[in-house]
Amino acid sequence: MTIRLVVIATILTGIIACAQDEADPIPAYLSVGQLQEAMTGGEFSSAELVSHLLARIEEIDRRGPGLHSIIEINPDALAIATALDDERRAGRVRGPLHGIPIVLKANIDTGDRMATTAGSLALAGHRAPDDAFHVAALREAGAIILGKTNLSEWANFRSSASSSGWSGIGGQTKNPYVLNRNPCGSSSGSAVAVAAGLVPLAIGTETDGSVICPSGINGVVGIKPTVGLVSRDGIIPISHTQDTAGPMARSVWDAALLLSAMAKKDATDPASAGYPGDKDYTAGLSAAALDSVRIGVWRKYRAAGKRPRVEAIFEQTIARLKELGATIVDPIDFAVPDLANDAEYEVFLYEFKTNLNQYLAGAGVEPPADTLAGIIAFNRDHADESMPWFGQDILEQAEGKGTLDEPEYLRALENSNTAMRRALDEVLSRHALDAIVAPSNSPAWQTNFLNGDHDRHFLSSSGPAAIAGYPAISLPAGEVLGLPVGITFLGAPFTEEKLIRYAFLLEQAIKARKNPQFIRSLEE
């Protein structure tokens, strides 16, 4: 069966389960390279691909399993695809993303007919004045912005009792592997859309764990760049110290392609001072071994020792890295600085208030949602719709904070970002490490609106790279009872090129990713 026939068959029959036969794949599960090869060969056009994906979103995301990963469709997507097809026929191909559909987390600005809401009803209908800097770069590269993805409302910075993947506008996103399990947040919709074959590529944002955790839990690759590698312009903020956008894909290669297009120097972003220059992050991925690479094993991550099945996957991963030629330093004596986690939260509260009010003013948001105080009041006035499951205690705490010149904020910044950078720099230098490796996540917990995300044995290793603003990449490493588990590499600032290569070589060696089957629960 040709690819064109697969497209037609998929649209007509509304296939929900993903194709497992590699000889007869559906386009949703092809790589970017395979999609480009098919479009170049005339098997299907970009417009036909977009039509297919829109049909698949209707069947899987809005009906069928009802994943609720896509919050809005770009009404101009087909027209953009048609124009890019015309360019291709005229002999102009902009690059590897030409005609490739991408979805964006709904806290990322687009200067088009789509809204930028962070999932909040208070911002329903808000349209940004222009594209985020990295979105403009993606359009220039020929990518099609297909839609916006659901997220944990306000990027999971609204309530201490929240359910990851829930927003007032988008409802609850489901984990495509087991539907009553959580997709992790806050870039839940972006990870789920890629994992479920609704789109080949997505962008999420991370402040602490919001790219790494949903990537690990949904069996995709996620890159959390060094803060400043990708412009922070046009992202509804939490923390200018830690916020960054990052790519998500089903392979390391495709995630690297997306990072190559979105990582451009923004001279107006102070964090870009150390920008290393434009790069093709797929270059050098053909290296066959990890000879001379030193990788440290971090064993003091959150909930270490509580998840034996995850730790078994971790041990298998370490063994495979040794087989690939890496020198393994096990363990490294690295621990999160004592005050870092509490201080990080304090930094978030201060920066969220200042950063959000600045964003709202610059984006021309109409009252009452033009300030944090106005958003809090809106939620109170519309509590039945805005707060059916949990409240807004974090927003209220942030509103009570002062300015960024207060001693309390400056101490918190020193005890979080500065202390974590110092600790990571020291351990990387002392052991002459190229990277540190740790498990990304434990298996997904059951979604629970009563208790939220509280799982005292939830495993996480995202904190150090997030707090320091350093890079990390998560890739699929195995499964526990059908639920994906990821492995994370983290390293020094602007070492994405190295981390991507290590992740690619490991990915090719273990080939751990499996497509989801949309099982309703583990009990069935």
| Tens-digit pLDDT profile for residues 85-137 | 999 999 999 999 999 999 999 999 999 999 999 999 999 999 999 999 999 99
Q: Taking a C-beta distance cutoff of 8 angstroms, is the pair 157, 394 a contact? A: yes
What is the three-class DSSP state of 435? strand
pLDDT of residue 456: 66
Residue 393 lies in a domain: yes
| Tens-digit pLDDT profile for residues 442-498 | 999 999 998 899 776 799 999 999 999 999 999 999 999 999 999 999 999 999 999
As for how many domains the chain has, the answer is 1
Q: What is the CATH number of the domain that holds 436?
A: 3.90.1300.10
Query: Which residue numbers are catalytic?
Result: 105, 186, 210
Q: Which residues of the chain have pLDDT under 50?
A: 1-25
pLDDT of residue 9: 31
Residue 522 lies in a domain: no
Residue 370 lies in a domain: yes
Residue-wise over 449-474: b if at least 16 C-beta within 10 A, else e? eeebbeeeebbbbbbbbbbbbbbbbb
pLDDT of residue 26: 53
Residue 281 lies in a domain: no
pLDDT of residue 3: 36
Residue 156 is part of which domain span?
Answer: 3-273+289-510
Count of C-beta atoms within a 10 Å radius of residue 305: 11
pLDDT of residue 319: 98
Residue 518 lies in a domain: no
* Cβ neighbours for 187, distance < 8 A, ≥ 6 positions apart: 105, 149, 151, 202, 204, 205, 206, 210, 211, 214, 222, 248
pLDDT of residue 287: 73
Tokens 């030409």 sit on residue: 98
Residue 70 lies in a domain: yes
Residue 58 lies in a domain: yes
507-512: long-range contacts at Cβ-Cβ below 8 A with a sequence spacing of 24 or more? 507/221, 507/251, 507/252, 507/475, 507/476, 509/320, 509/323, 509/324, 510/316, 510/317, 510/320, 510/477, 510/478, 512/475, 512/476, 512/477, 512/478, 512/479
Residue 521 lies in a domain: no
**What's the gap between Cα 73 and its chain centre?**
19
> Are β-strands 435-439 and 294-297 bridged in parallel, bridged antiparallel, or unpaired?
parallel
DSSP 315-335: HHHHHHHHHTTPEEE-S----
pLDDT of residue 450: 87
Angle at 433 between CA 428 and CA 436, to 5 degrees: 80
